Amino acid sequence: MRCAACVLAVLALFPAAASATPSPVAAWYVYGSSPAELASYAYSRGCQFARSQPGGGLRLLLLDFGAARKLSSGVWGTIDFSNTIVANADILAALEAAADGYHNCHVRGSVDIAYGNSNYHLSGSGMSSTDAWYAGYHQSERAEDLSDYQATKGYDSQTSDASSDMEPSWDAASITKQLVNGDAAQGWSLYYDFGSADGCPQSGSSDGACNNGWHVSDVGYVSYHGLAMPLPEIYYSVNAAQWTVMRKWWNANQVDDYVFAGVTATTGAGLTPTAAWNTLSSLNGGLVGSEVACFGC
Amino acid sequence: MLRLLTCAGVLCLLAVGAGIAAAVSRQDPLEKAAAVQRLASVATIDSNTEPAAVPASTPHPIPARMLDSGVPIPVAPSVLQLRNGWLVSDGRKLVAIYAGAAGDHPPTGRVVVVRQNLGSGRQTIRTVDARATGALTITAAPLGRSVETSAQTGRIHLRTAAGRALHLDLGTETLGSG
């Protein structure tokens, strides 16, 4: 009976969210060499996403700009996958270019353009927990800036949010939580967690240990606290089992009910995108939204 | 009862279109509800019918380089326990190599190849396994500006955990001895 009304509401309004296997949409890791290249690259990704967007619903365009970083006093951004330092101002320009690209190539449906980063080696780069909080805060702020741009431009088929690949193996739970807290404090962006539950238990519902000193409750925090929403990596069947434990722990210990926005998938791993969604959905019937963000697709 | 009332009201679970579902947190339900409602209100047609300006596209090569541990890796730990990486781009195509062990089975040596066509946007991710070699480490690879295109189909030299030499042929994305 716990929140049966919620599930019924979803089933009634959006049957696809509870039953049908959704079509994946592409997500991208950003490898840049300059801010100008980033904008051009993001424009093309926005256009490509629009041209290939399946169905008429709202889909997530996820651009992962790399690890969150404090670049200098009062300046936040990322270090991307090619070791290029990218300030938030340049990321915003790239996101605006993605919005332009989506607009120019729009065919159907709508898009939520997400500024993605990760918790990769935050502490190792010299960032404090306060720095991580500001990283999340400014990430949400830039997403809101993008929304303002979309509104000003008349891009009514678009909105914006933030996201983070939060992996227990990459840094401690305490500093990673600050990304989520900063986002929540700024208050604009949903904060999609497209990370993992590395090393977490595969059965039960207890607050078991995960990798790097994390516990199930920590994964729950970064994926559902405040404005966080889980879009978990489901690369192998075991990942679906781990996230199911996560959901059960949350529901046994929190007042609200835990639902998944969908899944993050990849090529080059054990499960296809469709199998990833089906596997998580089979263990969490009616509680998995129909987003499938796929890297490498 | 509190849970039920919360969910049954405006703060309840909401899925949007065919893509995104969201829910409300009890910590600050109004905050999350506002974001969810924003998603639900997105239109499917732009009021602006004029095309936006297209940014200039100039190739920006990236000289072939090794990637140290400070550079983020896009590959999840569940897929790869990283030892080191390598990257090159000629401004049109990019190749990144990540070497290590399979995240789900560490005795298996693994290389992950990320390729990107910067024009088409196609980004592919492929894993190449080396059976029970233990973690693989890149020991030698083309470096510098002069190999930005040629290195994309060249050889990456690797070492197994036991010290045996292997190589990755980027032309075929296969592993061989020596």
Task: Quote the pLDDT of residue B120.
Answer: 82
Q: What is the CA radius of gyration of chain B?
A: 23
pLDDT at position B111 is 98
pLDDT in tens, B28-37: 456 688 898 9
**pLDDT confidence bin for A19, thresholds 50/70/90:** low
Number of domains in chain A: 1
Q: Residues A136-185: pLDDT tens digits?
A: 999 999 999 999 999 999 999 999 999 999 999 999 999 999 999 999 99
In this prediction, residue B11 carries a pLDDT of 30
**Mean pLDDT estimate for chain A:** 93
Cβ pair B157, B165 in contact under 8 A: yes
Of the residues B26, B42, B98, the best mutation for testing chain A's interface (the one with the most A CB atoms within 10 Å of its CB) is B42
Q: Do the Cβ atoms of B20 and A58 come within 8 Å?
A: yes
Interface test with B, best of A1, A13, A29, A96 (most B CBs within 10 A): A29
Task: Delimit the domains of chain B by residue range.
Answer: 2-40, 62-177
State residue A87's pLDDT score. 97
Would you state the pLDDT for residue A255? Answer: 87
d(CA A215, CA A253): 14
Core vs surface per residue A84-114: b (16+ CB within 10 A) or e: bebbbebbbbbbbbbbbbbbbbbeebbbbbb
8 Å CB contact of A100 and B104: no
Nearest C-alpha in A relative to B48: A154
Other Cβ atoms within 10 Å of B25 Cβ, number = 22
pLDDT of residue B31: 67
| CB atoms B76 and A224 under 8 Å | no
Which one is predicted more confidently, A224 or B22?
Answer: A224
In this predicted structure, the answer to whether residue B14 has a pLDDT above a threshold of 70 is: no
pLDDT per position as a tens digit, A259-297: 999 999 999 999 999 999 999 999 999 999 999 999 999
Mean pLDDT of A240-260: 95
Chain A CB contacts of B8 under 8 Å are 5-6, 9
Residue B8's H or E segment, with its range, is helix B2-8
Q: With cut-offs at 50, 70 and 90, classify the pLDDT of residue A130.
A: very high
- What's the sign of the alpha-carbon dihedral A167, A171, A177, A183? negative
Considering chain A, what percentage of its residues have pLDDT values greater than 70?
Answer: 94
Encoded tokens for A285 = 């019937």
Q: What is the 3-class SS of B19-71, one letter each residue?
A: CEEECCCCCCHHHHHHHHHHHHCCCCCCCCCCCCCCCCCCCCCEEEEEECCCC
Tell me the CATH number at A181. 3.20.20
Q: What percent of chain B has pLDDT over 70?
A: 83
pLDDT-based confidence at A35, cuts 50/70/90?
A: confident
Euclidean distance between CA atoms B93 and A250, whole angstroms: 44
Range of the domain at A242: 4-295
ipTM for the assembly: 0.90
Mean pLDDT value of segment B112-133: 92
Per the CB < 8 A criterion, the answer to whether A22 and B18 are in contact is: yes
Local confidence band at B57 (pLDDT 50, 70, 90 cut-offs): confident
Residue B105 CB coordination number (10 Å): 11
Q: How far is B102 from chain A (nearest CA, A)?
A: 10
C-beta of residue A256 within 8 angstroms of C-beta of residue A280? no
**pLDDT digit string, tens, across residues B150-174:** 999 999 999 999 999 999 999 999 9
Please say if the pLDDT value at position A7 is more than 70. no
